[in-house]
Amino acid sequence: MAELKYFADHGFQNITLGIPFGTHMLADLAEYSHKIEHLNLLVDMKEHIDLLDTTNGKYGILIKIDTGYHRAGLDYANTQAIIDLAWYAEKSRSASFLGIYSHAGHSYNQSSVEDVKRVAREERDRMVAVRRALESNGIAVHVVSCGSTPACTISDDWEGVTEIHAGNYCCFDRNQVQIGSCPSTDNNAGRLLTRILSFYPDRNTILTDGGGIPLSKDKSDMSNWGTIRGHPELYVQKISQEHAILTSDSPIDYSKYHIGEVLMVYPNHSCMTAAQHPVFYVLDGDMVVDKWVPCKFWCGLYYNLDDYDLPSPELLFDLQYFINNPDKYYSFYLNNLHQSFQPTFTHAFIRLLQDKGLLLRDYTQNIDSLERVVGIRDDLLVQTHGSIESCCCVACNEKYSMKYVELCLAKGVIPHCKCGGLVKPGIVFFGEKLPLKFTWYSKRDLGSCDLLLVLGTSLSVEPMASLVEYVRSSTPRVLINRERVGPFRFCGMSSCYRDVCYIGDCDEGVRELCSLLGWEGEVEAILRSTAPADFPRELPIFAETGSSTAINHCHSAPVLYEATDAPNESSNE
């Protein structure tokens, strides 16, 4: 449902939910059926239609047909049941019958291209036969939807089918290579970075941190859990929750490897592996060119907090709750310690503005401190939501390093100050004031800058959202973002004389701007020097803190000159 909402909220007007729905989804389905032009749902029981009729929604109906996968749907041979359900849908007050839908998931279990072609032919022929049976009973069929990645990739004969749908094709994986629908692992877009932890020559194995949580335990129809890029002799022999064991059919040459080395794993099933992660890095060759954060579903932070027994998810970042229950936050921290983050093209662009003497200040909601990694000076950086790089005592404000916190946690104890107070991370929790630096600089900076750049933000979190209103009426404002937000929603109207919008990916927009300025090479040089793609930075992941997205590209960078007379940081910053 979260995926459906994401697409609908970003302008898609014709959406099919590819699984039968449950009662817990009805309210959202009804709401979104009025937000988009066509919301199509799968049914395989009359009860599904009865449920829809209890809502005030309007839906298109596709009957789910089982052509051999045996996961969901009415059996293709049970034509009378299919006809009866179609007639029942025709009588619905909220739904309109559109057609039939199948997914030949058993194509993944085939061992040859010819076997996949056979499954594809069977799916097509069985769906066309169902269509003819419906039409011979006076029921119009507008949609015949088939597909799976192996079938759609290998077969090109879909006569009688109106649409094909496939999901894994956008990434591919080792399973697709084995089947024959993908030529080689070089075409596998979904890959996992893992680190070497130890060596065991007597067992001819290598221990890494890429276990079942980051890789998934989906072995598919294969003899191991993955292979290693650049090391074809190695494969993932065994996995546990946190760790993986690599081995080789020949003796491993341990002189080729070192502790801490980063290896790239080709997973068997990229769908399962991708679903484990809250952020994805996009590579061009070996250079990180973008960072993608998925919409909130399986890997969204608030969807993964059931194990922490919280009254409500947002309390994980509530100051008073932390003081009373520090074990909750630090348990979460330990479970998310080994996530990797790297600066992006946008980070490097801001560094170039600094190097050219154009950056007045960089206001960021990021807590990952990648601005510092890329070289933004402390006096030019305002981290409005704090940083995970340092910690402090909640009682006396004594500063502590993350290393101290991690040493305490490694011993199984909650970190405390020498005064006895709790040590908390340097991020801004709910119930805390923003850093003094923000109050000191913001109005003065915004009131004096010559240009305001707003890069990759929803402009929905105060007080950051209001910064765009502090600039002078004659100051140009530039938004580079996936959608129009805040006052930029009116960009293009005659009254909006000073705003410019680039609607699209943040890094792509910044790259296009740099290309026009002739700066692209300089930015790439900064990126190469600060973020080698084969050695990502270890940081904990904080995907979302209530209404505030804490890890994203979120900068509002006034551009003019270097400020002087920095504030005297008080103990209550």
CB 220 within 8 Å of CB 192: no
Q: Looking at the DSSP assignment, which residues form a beta bridge with residue 33?
A: none
| Buried-exposed string 325-334: b where 16+ CB fall within 10 A, e elsewhere | bbebbbbbbe
Burial of 71 (0-12, 13-18, 19+ CB in 10 A): exposed
Flag whether 393 is marked binding: yes
CA distance 473 to 316: 40
Known active-site residue 243: no
The catalytic residue among 277, 385, 553, 555 is 385
The H or E element that residue 528 is part of is helix 520-530
For residues 246 and 195, what is the distance between their CA atoms, to the nearest angstrom?
Answer: 11
Hey, CA dihedral for 179, 182, 186, 190, is it positive or negative?
Answer: negative
Sign of the C-alpha dihedral, residues 120, 274, 347, 259? negative
Beta bridge partners of 451: 559
Distance between CA 375 and CA 60 in Å, rounded?
53
Contact 1, 39 (CB under 8 A): no
Contact 572/428 with Cβ under 8 angstroms? Answer: no
Tokens standing for 494? Answer: 């005659």
Quickly count helices (H) and strands (E) in the chain.
Answer: 17, 26
Q: Is 419 exposed, middle or buried (0-12, 13-18, 19+ CB in 10 A)?
A: exposed
Asked if 310 and 316 touch (Cβ cutoff 8 Å), the reply is yes
Q: Which residues, other chains included, contact 115 with Cβ-Cβ below 8 Å and sequence gap of 6+?
A: none
Amino acid making up residue 62: L
| Pure H helices in 253-318 | 270-274
- Rounded to a whole number, what is the largest CA-CA distance in the chain? 83
DSSP-assigned letter for residue 536: P
**Measured CA angle at 107 (ends 14, 220), to 5 deg:** 105
79-84: long-range contacts, CB 8 A cutoff, minimum separation 24: 79/129, 79/130, 79/133, 82/130, 82/133, 82/134, 83/133, 83/134, 83/137, 83/139
Please enumerate in sequence order all residues whose Cβ is within 8 A of that of 70, keeping only pairs 6 or more positions apart, or say none. 106
Asked if residue 419 belongs to a known ligand binding site, the reply is yes
Distances (CA, A) of 101 to 81, 155, 413, 473: 15, 18, 54, 55
What is the rounded distance in angstroms from the CA atom of residue 526 to the CA atom of residue 344? 10
Radius of gyration of the chain (CA): 27
Bind-site residues for Zn(2+):
393, 396, 417, 419
Catalytic center residues: 385
Bind-site residues:
393, 396, 417, 419
